[in-house]
């Protein structure tokens, strides 16, 4: 087991950070209507350096933020510079403190279908307004902390949409922990907090700019079955192996969440599921994510290139002779 884990860690060396003199790419903020959540939402966007000079289509990497964070966070963590090395569209959305799921019960007048927001409204808007490769082979999804959970969970629930899924410091045990709360008739810990009403001036989303506004009222899950249906440890064993996205996971050795990342990768190893795992010094902090995004983007870019090459090969007519 130790040799296998060490081998998986060594694999990351194959995707070493590219040394570049490229300037960080500009970040654009996009506003759009999102029917699934009944409001206007924003996301940050990075386009490839040559986007305006060509008519070609580009793959997309979606980067999901963590709890208490927002769509502006990833752009402050080295992403504009790392993205300059690749011909990728990078999309950084916002879901507040919702855990990227469709809530079982919502109070108030607006729906809280945040899974639908990502896989329908957001992806649909990006594909409709930019020259994307609008299929599974041209998409990857990744995130940190709550976003790491969201990226792995969404990717496993929608393996037809993403060829690569990733997690930095992911809260991968969230659904299992929430199941324990449901069994006790309690709300999960994040719902028991007193969220502030102070406006974050960076967000600028009407009615969605204070921590209290960004945390839904209601119940995220109400049954064990709902928890299981959003649990990466269970979902990964249900996906057809031929459709399973490549899995990337990393975590800092000083991070309180590293145990769930190790347990998830151990489950993948025990079930002979391909994955890339890395652990290195660091905690649950922006300097760690600012460093490791270079590794994950290299891996996910490579997985996209492989998937596109395989799809092109499969689509090419067989010109070989024969009787």
Architecture of the domain spanning 2-313: 3-Layer(aba) Sandwich (3.40)
Residue 1 binned pLDDT confidence (cut-offs 50, 70, 90) = very low
End-to-end CA distance of the chain: 49
| Residue 191: predicted pLDDT | 86
Q: What is the mean pLDDT of the chain?
A: 92
- Look at the block and give the residue holding tokens 């990466």: 232
Residue 189's pLDDT band, with cuts at 50, 70 and 90, is confident
pLDDT at 7: 40
Region 129-155: mean pLDDT is: 98
* Percentage of the chain lying above the pLDDT 70 cut: 92
Average pLDDT over residues 125-152: 98
Provide the pLDDT confidence category of residue 22 given band limits of 50, 70 and 90: confident
Q: Which residue has the tokens 């569209």?
A: 89
Give the pLDDT confidence score for residue 19 in this predicted structure: 45
Decide if 165 contacts 245 (C-beta within 8 A).
yes
What pLDDT score was predicted for residue 16? Answer: 44
- Mean pLDDT for 98-127 is 96
Mean pLDDT of 53-69: 98
The Cβ of residue 177 has, within 10 Å, a number of other Cβ atoms equal to 15
- Give one DSSP letter per residue of 147-181, joined into a string: HHHHHHHHHHH-TTT-SEEEEES--TTHHHHHHHH
Q: Phi first, then psi: what are they for 207, rounded to 5°?
A: 75, 15
Q: How confident is the model at residue 318 (pLDDT cuts 50, 70, 90)?
A: low
Q: Which helix (H) or strand (E) holds 304?
A: helix 286-315
- Report domain extents, the chain: 2-313
pLDDT band at 199, cuts 50/70/90?
very high
Q: Residue 77: what pLDDT? A: 98
pLDDT of amino acid 21: 52
Segment 283-311 shows an average pLDDT of: 98
The pLDDT value given to residue 309: 97
Residues 220 and 179: beta-carbon distance below 8 Å: no
- Separation of alpha carbons 119 and 122, rounded Å: 6
What are the backbone angles phi and psi of residue 309, rounded to the nearest 5°? -65, -40
Q: So what's the pLDDT on residue 14?
A: 44
Task: Give CA–CA dist 178/189, Å, rounded.
Answer: 8
Do residues 69 and 211 touch, judged by C-beta distance below 8 A?
no
> pLDDT category, 61, cuts 50, 70, 90?
very high
Name which of 2-6, 73-77, 207-211, 284-288 the model is least confident about.
2-6
Q: What is the pLDDT of residue 3?
A: 42
Question: What's the rounded mean pLDDT across residues 284-300?
Answer: 98
143 closest CA partner among 130, 131, 154 = 154
Q: Yes or no: say if 60 and 69 are a contact pair by the CB < 8 Å rule.
A: no
Q: What is the DSSP letter of 133?
A: -
Look at residue 108 in the predicted model and tell me its pLDDT.
Answer: 85
Q: What is the pLDDT of residues 156-188, one digit of tens each?
A: 999 999 999 999 999 999 999 999 999 999 888
User: How many residues appear in the chain?
Assistant: 323
Helix%, strand%, coil% for the chain, nearest 5? 40, 15, 45
pLDDT above 60 for 232: yes
Strand locations in 47-118, DSSP E? 60-64, 89-92, 105-106
pLDDT (0 to 100) of residue 315 = 87
The more confident residue out of 53 and 21 is 53
> d(Cα 176, Cα 174) in Å, to the nearest integer?
6
At residue 316, the pLDDT reads 80
């Amino acid at each position: 087991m130790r040799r296998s884990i060490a081998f998986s860690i060594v694999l990351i060396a194959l995707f070493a950070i590219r040394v570049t003199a490229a300037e960080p790419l500009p970040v654009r903020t996009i506003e759009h209507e999102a029917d699934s959540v009944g409001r206007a939402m924003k996301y940050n966007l990075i386009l490839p350096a040559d986007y305006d000079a060509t008519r070609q289509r580009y793959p997309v990497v979606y980067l999901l933020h963590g709890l208490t964070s927002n769509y502006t966070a990833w752009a402050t963590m080295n992403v504009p510079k790392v993205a300059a090395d690749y011909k990728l569209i990078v999309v950084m959305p916002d879901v507040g403190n919702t855990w990227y799921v469709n809530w079982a019960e919502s109070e108030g007048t607006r729906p809280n279908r945040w899974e639908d927001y990502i896989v329908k409204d957001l992806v649909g808007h990006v594909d409709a307004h930019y020259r994307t490769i609008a299929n599974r082979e041209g998409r990857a999804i990744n995130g940190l902390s709550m976003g790491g959970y969201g990226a792995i969970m969404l990717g496993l629930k929608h393996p037809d949409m993403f060829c690569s899924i990733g997690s930095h410091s992911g809260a991968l045990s969230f659904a299992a922990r929430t199941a324990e709360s449901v069994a006790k008739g309690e709300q999960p810990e994040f719902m028991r907090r007193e969220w502030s009403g102070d406006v974050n001036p960076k967000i600028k989303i009407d009615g969605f700019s204070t921590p209290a506004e960004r945390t839904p009222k209601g119940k995220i899950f109400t049954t064990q079955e709902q928890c299981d249906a959003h649990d990466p440890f269970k979902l990964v064993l249900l996906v057809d192996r031929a459709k399973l996205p490549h899995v990337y996971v990393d975590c800092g050795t000083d991070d309180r969440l590293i145990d769930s990342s190790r347990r998830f990768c151990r489950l993948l190893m025990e079930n002979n599921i391909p994955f890339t795992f890395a652990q290195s010094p660091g905690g649950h902090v922006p300097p760690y994510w600012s460093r490791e995004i270079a590794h994950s983007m290299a891996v996910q870019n490579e997985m996209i290139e492989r998937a596109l090459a395989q799809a092109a090969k499969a689509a090419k007519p067989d010109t070989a002779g024969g009787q």
